[in-house]
Structure 1
Amino acid sequence: MVMSMTGFASRRGEGAGAAWSWDLRSVNGKGFDLRLRLPDGLDGLEAAVRAAISRGVVRGNVSLGLRLDRVTGTATQRVDPEALAAVLAALKQIETAALDADVALAPASAADVLTQRGVLTGAAEADPAPLLAALLADLPPLLADFHAMRAAEGRALADVLRAQVTRIAALAAESRALAEARRGQAATTLREALDRVLAAAEGVDAGRVAQELALMAVKTDVTEELDRLDAHVAAARTLLAETGPVGRKLDFLMQEFNREANTLCSKSQSAELTRVGLDLKVTIDQMREQVQNVE
Structure 2
Amino acid sequence: MTRSMTGFARHECSFDWGNVAWEIRSVNHRYLEPHFRLPENLKALEPQLRDQLRKRLGRGKVEVNLQYQAGEKNQQLELNTDFLAKLSQAVDCVAQGLTNAAPLNPLEVMRWPGIIQTAPLDFEQMQSDALSGFDQALTQLIDQRTREGTELQNLIETRLDTIVELVAKVRTLMPDILANQKQKILEKINALQVEIDQSRLEQELVYLAQKSDVDEEMDRLETHVAEVKHCFKQKNPIGRRLDFLMQELNREANTLSSKSTVSDTTQIAVDLKVLIEQMREQVQNIE
* Alignment TM-score, normalising by the size of structure 2: 0.84
Q: Are 1:149 and 2:144 an aligned pair? A: yes
Alpha-carbon shift at residue 93 of structure 1 (Å) = 8.1
Match for 1:52: what amino acid? Q
Q: Tell me which residue corresponds to 1:37.
A: 37
Match for 1:281: what amino acid? K
Alpha-carbon shift at residue 109 of structure 1 (Å) = 9.2
Partner Cα separation in structure 2 for residue 77 and residue 215 of structure 1: 100
Q: Tell me which residue corresponds to 2:11.
A: 11
Q: 2:225 aligns with which of 219, 227, 233?
A: 233
Q: Are 1:132 and 2:127 an aligned pair? A: yes
1:33-72 matches, cutoff 5 A: 33-42=33-42, 44-71=44-71, 72=74
Deviation readout 1:83-137 (Å, 9 max, x if unpaired) = 555666677789x739xxxxxx9xx797566567669556586342121111122
* Alignment TM-score, normalising by the size of structure 1: 0.82
Match for 1:22: what amino acid? W
Q: Tell me which residue corresponds to 1:75.
A: 77
Q: Are 1:200 and 2:194 an aligned pair? A: yes
Flag the 1:196–1:84 CA change in 2: closer, same or farther, 3 A: farther
CA contact (8 A) 1:175 1:277 kept: no
Q: Are 1:254 and 2:246 an aligned pair? A: yes
Flag the 1:112–1:235 CA change in 2: closer, same or farther, 3 A: closer
Deviation readout 1:39-84 (Å, 9 max, x if unpaired) = 2344641111111111111111111111222334343665763655
Give structure 2 stretches of 5+ with no counterpart: none
Deviation readout 1:192-235 (Å, 9 max, x if unpaired) = 456678x536xx76534532442232112111111111111211
Look up the SS of the partner of 1:264 in the other structure. Answer: helix
Q: Tell me which residue corresponds to 2:235.
A: 243
Partner Cα separation in structure 2 for residue 40 and residue 257 of structure 1: 50
Flag the 1:184–1:18 CA change in 2: closer, same or farther, 3 A: same
Q: Tell me which residue corresponds to 1:175.
A: 170
Look up the SS of the partner of 2:2 in the other structure. Answer: coil
Partner Cα separation in structure 2 for residue 58 and residue 77 of structure 1: 51
Match for 1:200: what amino acid? V
CA contact (8 A) 2:17 2:121 kept: no
CA contact (8 A) 1:7 1:26 kept: yes
Partner Cα separation in structure 1 for residue 199 and residue 78 of structure 2: 103
Percent identical residues: 33
Deviation readout 1:221-273 (Å, 9 max, x if unpaired) = 11111111111121122222333321111111111110111111111111111
1:80-99 matches, cutoff 5 A: 81=84, 84-85=88-89, 97=100
Q: Are 1:187 and 2:163 an aligned pair? A: no
Partner Cα separation in structure 1 for residue 92 and residue 76 of structure 2: 22
CA contact (8 A) 1:194 1:209 kept: no
Look up the SS of the partner of 2:67 in the other structure. Answer: strand
Partner Cα separation in structure 1 for residue 279 and residue 186 of structure 2: 42
Look up the SS of the partner of 2:285 in the other structure. Answer: coil
Alpha-carbon shift at residue 27 of structure 1 (Å) = 0.7
Partner Cα separation in structure 2 for residue 97 and residue 218 of structure 1: 110
Aligned residue pairs: how many?
283
Give the stretch that moved more between structures: 16-25 or 111-120: 111-120
